[in-house]
Structure 1
Amino acid sequence: MKVLVTGYGGQLGYDVVQEGSNQGLEMIGSRRQNLDITNKEAVSLYVDKIKPDAIIHCAAYTAVDKAEDEKEVCWDVNVEGTKYLAKAARDVNAKFMYISTDYVFNGKGDSPFKEEDELSPIGYYGETKYQGEEVVKNLVDNWFIIRISWVFGVNGNNFVKTMLRLAETKNELNVVGDQFGSPTYTFDLAPLLIEMIQTDKFGIYHASNEGTCSWAEFAEEIFRQANKDVKVHSISSEEYPTRAVRPKNSRLSKQKLMDEGFTLLPHWQDALRRYINELTQEVR
């Protein structure tokens, strides 16, 4: 099976290519440097030349705050880029997997959002990812939409790396404690995506590591596991204003994964332990 993965330079795309290769699939990872997904003609030519059996679309504009000011750029990548790739996938009869986000929901309540719940994003980044979902559903017959949350991986920047960096110079930190979700380790997510893309169990899925926490609780666990003596002060979202409003509830129901017989990801604390160990080995 030949699989094209966009966003190879990012956390998830990198791990997906590695995992697929380890399983014996022919993996082709594209980066911004060799494929500008906002160029319709370039996308069409690239996909037609490769003729993949499937496309896993990990590339995205993910700078949540900057998206409020760079709306055109964000739209071009997350909506137009997705549209060009989806059309190209349709032209070569390839399966299409679109990586979406918890930000397509409004973050209200405290129950996990189900796959079929109404989408009502509260920020521009979430709006573009929602529109990207609509593009995929309208243009491709054989599609997967995978909503993920709070991603961390070796290849890229993330909350865990930021906390560990701050721990080098800080012994106290204020971290938001009223936003809840599930951290997701790309190393754990990648095998699930590779498993899925080899099936015809199309549709919308939520995928994250098991368990939930607040950002403050996540930070505390990072420092505990990394043996860093940093005191975390849990503060409200209002005490830490950002350009874009964040959803307070990013809990995602994984019922569809279970219904379709896919393996759930390990608990986020277990994932974090393995990730910190991986980072430690990298430093050595």
Structure 2
Amino acid sequence: MKNVLVTGCNGQLGSELHNLASKYPKINFFFKAKDLDITNKAIIENYLKKNKINFIINTAAYTNVNDSEIEKQKTDLVNEKGVKNLVELSEKYNCKLIHYSTDYVYNGENKTPLDEKSSTKPLNYYGISKREGEKHIENSSCESIIIRTSWLYSNFGNNFVNAIIKKVQNKEKINVVKDQFGCPTNAKDLAFDTINILNSEIKLDKYGKIYNYSNLGYTSWSNFAKKIIEFLNIEYEIQEVSTEFFKSNVIRPKYSITNKNKIVNTFNLNIPHWEKSLKTYLTNFQL
């Protein structure tokens, strides 16, 4: 029996893991959110003293990209210091650690799919904070991995898919950038494959600590929006615009298409194409 602590379980990924947990009776999941603040090391340590935890899955993060530029201290507290706390305590209590990061650690200048060895140079403070958190794991002695994911969506919380649906419901005009490219990720698929990784007999970081994960294939934000409309089986205009259309102080990468071969081959995963996964997600969705 594996004892698995999931932090940040009120978010998209944590919620999907919670939904799947009952299907895996040989894994004893502990879901902790507000009562286990990863920025408070003493609280985490007290919990680990009282409970024999084999794995920590850290889904906790400060993910508001726009607000990160303003609330830098708060962003650092969760995305960097919180990860540092988990790393140090994982080493002390012999826990294996799975942590999630973002495609925003890349600089967006590539023209070919990014692999785990591609250089990192974040363009915004959210990406900077996530990269700093990654460094603690890369330098750690505990068995641990970083899963870099992108364009996450689910039934829970704020995300691009839900935002498009809300605009349709409110009959709002929809403008979407056409010149930023990346890979959508259904949080349910990532949660499912996280459990597959947990159940794998392979040492987590046997081939290094960094892995890319998203659904297969790639798209632009505007085409992503068009596919949402198509799979909802409705007609609605999507206005394609350039990045410059939106006046923003936050720079986002124009190219963050990632190569998933490493995680697929290491853990023998069968990741669905993003269009297939999106269509499944929207099946029977009622506007």
Q: TM-score, normalised by structure 2?
A: 0.93
Distance 2:114 2:210 in 1: 12
- Number of the residue aligned with 1:75: 76
Q: Secondary structure at the match of 2:169?
A: coil
1:201 and 2:204 correspond: yes
1:252 and 2:258 correspond: yes
Counterpart AA for 1:218: F
Counterpart AA for 2:28: E
Distance 2:7 2:172 in 1: 39
Identity of aligned residues (%): 36
1:10-21 matched pairs, under 5 angstroms? 10-21=11-22
Give yes or no for contact 1:257–1:264 (8 Å, CA) kept in 2. no
Deviations 1:97-120 (A, max 9, x none): 110100010011221111011111
1:180 and 2:186 correspond: no
1:220 and 2:222 correspond: no
Distance 1:2 1:244 in 2: 40
Q: How many residues align?
A: 280
Match of 1:273 among 268, 273, 279: 279
Following TM superposition, by how much is the alpha carbon of 1:171 offset from its aligned partner in structure 2, in angstroms? 6.2
Structure 1 residues 90 and 261: alpha-carbon distance in aligned structure 2, compared to 1, 3 A threshold:
closer
Distance 1:141 1:279 in 2: 42
Distance 2:141 2:244 in 1: 41
Give yes or no for contact 1:3–1:27 (8 Å, CA) kept in 2. yes
Of residues 213-222 and 47-56 in structure 1, the stretch that sits farther from structure 2 once superposed is: 47-56
- Number of the residue aligned with 1:56: 57
- Number of the residue aligned with 1:43: 44
Root-mean-square deviation over aligned CA pairs: 1.6
Distance 2:100 2:80 in 1: 12
1:142-161 matched pairs, under 5 angstroms? 142-161=143-162
Deviations 1:45-89 (A, max 9, x none): 122222210001111000001000000000000000111111111
Following TM superposition, by how much is the alpha carbon of 1:197 offset from its aligned partner in structure 2, in angstroms? 2.3
Structure 1 residues 28 and 261: alpha-carbon distance in aligned structure 2, compared to 1, 3 A threshold:
closer
Q: Secondary structure at the match of 1:228?
A: coil
Of residues 266-275 and 98-107 in structure 1, the stretch that sits farther from structure 2 once superposed is: 266-275
Of residues 133-142 and 245-254 in structure 1, the stretch that sits farther from structure 2 once superposed is: 133-142
1:240 and 2:243 correspond: no
Distance 2:46 2:255 in 1: 41
Following TM superposition, by how much is the alpha carbon of 1:258 offset from its aligned partner in structure 2, in angstroms? 3.3
Give yes or no for contact 2:5–2:55 (8 Å, CA) kept in 1. yes
Unaligned runs of 5+ in 2: none
Unaligned runs of 5+ in 1: none
- Number of the residue aligned with 1:132: 133
Following TM superposition, by how much is the alpha carbon of 1:198 offset from its aligned partner in structure 2, in angstroms? 3.0
Give yes or no for contact 1:98–1:144 (8 Å, CA) kept in 2. yes
Distance 1:21 1:95 in 2: 21
- Number of the residue aligned with 1:28: 30
Distance 1:34 1:261 in 2: 32
Counterpart AA for 2:215: N
Following TM superposition, by how much is the alpha carbon of 1:146 offset from its aligned partner in structure 2, in angstroms? 0.3
Q: Secondary structure at the match of 2:65?
A: coil
Distance 2:39 2:267 in 1: 36
Following TM superposition, by how much is the alpha carbon of 1:140 offset from its aligned partner in structure 2, in angstroms? 3.7
Counterpart AA for 1:201: L
1:92 and 2:93 correspond: yes
Distance 2:155 2:169 in 1: 19
Distance 2:8 2:284 in 1: 22
Q: TM-score, normalised by structure 1?
A: 0.94
Give yes or no for contact 2:90–2:142 (8 Å, CA) kept in 1. no
- Number of the residue aligned with 1:141: 142
